[in-house]
Amino acid sequence: MDKPNLKDMTLEEIEGFISDLGKEKYRAKQIMKWLYQSGTTSFDEMTNLSKDFRDGMNNIVRISTLEIVETQTSKDGTKKVLFKLEDGNFIESVLIPGANHWTLCISTQVGCMIGCRFCLTGMYGFKRNLLPSEITDQITMLRFNTPEGENVKNIVMMGMGEPLENYDNTLKAIRIMTTDCGLAISNRRITLSTCGIAPMIHRLGKDTCVNLAISLNTPDDETRNYLMPINKKYPLETLIKACREYPMPRRRRITFEYILIEGVNTSREDAERLARLLRGIRCKLNLIPYNEYPGSVFRTPAEVDIEAFRKILIKHNYIATIRASRGGDILAACGQLSGR
Ligand code: SAH
Ligand code: SF4
């Protein structure tokens, strides 16, 4: 367990590592292809490398895996996968079916320390950050061990945890995901969702080109302070400024996620303020009716109220969709992951 893990290394790091061993740089790409494009978990299988090199590597580095403990399938086809980490902690990923492909929602931390009032993950507290390997292995393991995983097209970082609170590991995982000889997923197909760590949004924009989603949930600071304590540190003005400055290729939009909670953030005035707040930002709004769970304090609004809220945004020329709740019966819906 003390040996460094190859799957925690980016291409550049593997190149550096093997050049220290006197090996050619291009071997790093071969190794990465074995790991991420063949799903190889042992050096023995890397047949285009010499036996000596393989044995040498085997002595000084290791290749991690995640254990798939359980897969639950919802009535709507959504699958929730429970993984066991090497230290015995558990995390969850969710496979969401689409017309021809799947979207995979992955975790970035064991638990979360932000503590949003509506979120079950937050309620269970925080254990630790995930390593880059633990983030990408959710994709790799499913890709090579399940038929659904083979057909994953989109990755969303919306599972357990706040990715921007685990920035370095998340960034490294994104590099491994997007590298040609790695998981080879286009950054257009990757979305990072954050509760709004404004300075890290700036950094993310400099370091990568992935899609950005913001868990916004209300257009006023008072309500947001109550729902999401992070807002006291990075209030709406700071957050929205970071969003306006996030560099985006043409035709892309920031996604603002808005959980509709009965009696809290669903009034006509809320919708009007939201429209004013986001004016001029190339964005789309994802309205998520609050998912209730056993013991939850909030309620899902009535269908008519959800539709009325959406109509106001449409009137102001926003793209606003209502996200159908997925996997609620197996606690796989947004904010319901707990790793237990
Ligand atoms: N920490 C990041 C990424 C994962 S959070 C973030 O906050 O963006 C998971 C997503 O589920 C967030 O978009 C959050 O707004 C949503 N969510 C949490 N609890 C929910 C609930 N009870 N009902 C509906 N959506 C919820
Ligand atoms: Fe953490 Fe996101 Fe849940 Fe808030 S909504 S507690 S940031 S996982």
Tens digit of pLDDT for each residue in 162-172?
Answer: 999 999 999 99
> Whose alpha carbon is nearest atom 8 of ligand 2?
161
Nearest ligand to the C-alpha atom of residue 322: 1
Question: Which residues have a Cβ under 8 Å from the Cβ of 162 and sit 6 or more positions away?
Answer: 108, 109, 112, 113, 114, 194, 195, 197
Pocket test for ligand 1, best of 104, 215, 292, 337 (most atoms within 8 A of CB): 215
Whether the CB of 291 sits within 6 Å of ligand 1: yes
Whether the CB of 327 sits within 6 Å of ligand 1: no
How would residue 332 be classed by pLDDT, with cut points 50, 70 and 90? confident
- Give CA–CA dist 320/299, Å, rounded: 21
> Whose alpha carbon is nearest atom 19 of ligand 1?
335
Eight-class DSSP state of 62: B
Residue reference for tokens 């590991």: 169
Tokens describing residue 19? 């050049």
How would residue 340 be classed by pLDDT, with cut points 50, 70 and 90? low
Q: Which of 67, 70, 92, 272 is catalytic?
A: 92
Higher pLDDT, 174 or 125: 174
DSSP3 helix / strand / coil % (the chain, rounded to 5): 40, 20, 40
Please tell me whether residue 171 adopts helix, strand or coil conformation: helix
pTM score, whole prediction: 0.96
191 near 158, Cβ under 8 Å? yes
* Selection from 69, 107, 61 nearest residue 88 by Cα: 69
Beta partners for residue 126, in sequence order: 111
Mean pLDDT of the region 130-143: 98
- Give CA–CA dist 219/278, Å, rounded: 9
Pocket test for ligand 1, best of 212, 262, 334 (most atoms within 8 A of CB): 334
Q: What's the pLDDT tens digit per position in 55-64?
A: 999 999 999 9
72 near 332, Cβ under 8 Å? yes
Least-confidence region, from 80-89, 137-146, 248-257, 290-299: 290-299
Please tell me whether residue 107 adopts helix, strand or coil conformation: coil
How would residue 124 be classed by pLDDT, with cut points 50, 70 and 90? confident
Q: Which of 112, 116, 283, 334 is catalytic?
A: 334
334 is annotated as an active-site residue: yes
Q: How many CB atoms lie within 10 A of CB 37?
A: 16
Residue reference for tokens 């700036």: 202
Question: Any alpha helices (H) in the chain, and if so which ranges?
Answer: 11-20, 26-37, 51-60, 120-123, 132-145, 147-150, 167-178, 198-207, 221-227, 230-233, 236-244, 268-277, 303-315
Residue type (1 letter), 2: D
How would residue 1 be classed by pLDDT, with cut points 50, 70 and 90? low
For the chain, give the percent of residues with pLDDT over 70.
98
Q: How many CB atoms lie within 10 A of CB 59?
A: 10
Higher pLDDT, 201 or 297: 201
Mean pLDDT of the region 314-321: 98
Whether the CB of 118 sits within 6 Å of ligand 1: yes
Whether the CB of 108 sits within 6 Å of ligand 1: no
- Give CA–CA dist 247/204, Å, rounded: 10
Q: How far is the CA of 298 from the centre of ligand 2 (A)?
A: 16
Q: Is the pLDDT of residue 105 over 70?
A: yes
Tokens describing residue 105? 């929602």
Sheet holding 90-97, edge to edge: 67-73, 79-84, 90-97, 102-105, 152-157, 190-194, 211-215, 254-260, 283-289, 319-322
Whether the CB of 325 sits within 6 Å of ligand 1: no
Q: b/e string for 95-131 if b means 16 or more Cβ within 10 A? A: bbbeeeebbbbbbbbbbbebebbbbbbbbbebbebbb
Mean pLDDT of the region 23-45: 96
Identify the pLDDT of residue 327. Answer: 74
- Give CA–CA dist 21/198, Å, rounded: 41
Q: Which residues line ligand 2 (CB under 6 A)?
A: 112, 114-116, 119, 121-122, 161-162, 195, 215, 335
Q: Is the pLDDT of residue 337 over 80?
A: no
Q: Is the pLDDT of residue 91 over 70?
A: yes
Pocket test for ligand 1, best of 103, 118, 262, 323 (most atoms within 8 A of CB): 118
Nearest ligand to the C-alpha atom of residue 192: 1
- Give CA–CA dist 274/223, Å, rounded: 13
Q: Is the pLDDT of residue 198 over 90?
A: yes
Identify the pLDDT of residue 140. Answer: 98
How would residue 184 be classed by pLDDT, with cut points 50, 70 and 90? very high
Q: Locate the ligand 2 atom nearest the alpha carbon of residue 113 and give its number.
A: 1
> Whose alpha carbon is nearest atom 4 of ligand 2?
116
243 is annotated as an active-site residue: no
Mean pLDDT of the region 92-113: 96
- Give CA–CA dist 15/7, Å, rounded: 13
- Give CA–CA dist 303/294, Å, rounded: 21
